[in-house]
Amino acid sequence: MPRLRLGVFHSIAFIGPEGMHGIIGTQVTNGRSRMLPQLLVFYYQNIFFIMKNSNKGFTLIELLVVIAIIGILSAVVLTATGGFRTRGKDANAKSTMASIKNAAELYYGSTGLNTYGSGAAQTVTYNASTVPGTTPPPTAVSVCTDTEMARLGKAVFGQTNVNVVCTSNPGSYTITTTLNDATIYCSDSNSFTGTIPSTGAAPFSLGVKCQ
C-alpha cells in the first residue's frame, strides 16, 4: 500500500512594473518546498521594486514647472491687489480734496473776511515736509496758509505722493494734484472738484479756476 503523502499548497502574489502579474504556487510536501528558491527571488525582487518607487520624488523639471506656476500666480495676485490699493488711495485723495474745498469756504466766510487772501496771488505747496499751523513762504496769510487747509493738503500728498499745489487770489483759488492713475485732480472756488486734462493750458487758470 503506497504511503499517503500529505501536502499544503501555498501561493504568493507578485507585483512587477506593470502591476499585479499573477500568483506563483508551490507544493510543499513533507515540509519540503519544490519552488522555494523561485518564490524567494520573486519576493525580494518585488519588495525592492515597491521600496524603490515608494521613495521616488519630483524631478528637477517638475519642480521648476511648479515654481514657475507659483511665480505666475503670485504675480497675477500682486498685480490685482496692487490695482485695488491704488484705486483706494485715489478715492481717499478725491474725498480729501472735497474736504479741502469745504475748508476753503469756511476760511472765506470767517478768517478771510469774504476773501481767499490779501494782496497778490500766492502759491503754497503741500507735501511731506508741510507743518500745519506754520506759514510757509510767501508769508502773506491766505486760504492756502490756513492750518486746516495745510493739514488736508498734506493728507492728499500722503495718498498720492505728489505735491499738492494751492494758489490763491483775493477772490479765487485753485488746488491741484496728480493721482496715482496719472490723472490731474483739481478743486476751485467755483465749486468745481474733479479731473482736468492739464494745468498748463486753458481752460485751467492758476489761482482762478480749474475749467
Domain ranges of the chain: 7-54, 92-196
Whether residue 152 contacts residue 105, with contact meaning beta carbons closer than 8 Å, is answered with no
- In this predicted structure, what is the pLDDT of residue 46? 55
CB 174 within 8 A of CB 161: no
Sheet holding 7-16, edge to edge: 7-16, 19-29, 32-33
Q: Which residue has the higher pLDDT, 66 or 23?
A: 66
CA 6, CA 152: separation in Å to the nearest integer? 103
Question: Which pLDDT tens digit goes with each residue over 173-192?
Answer: 999 999 999 999 999 999 99
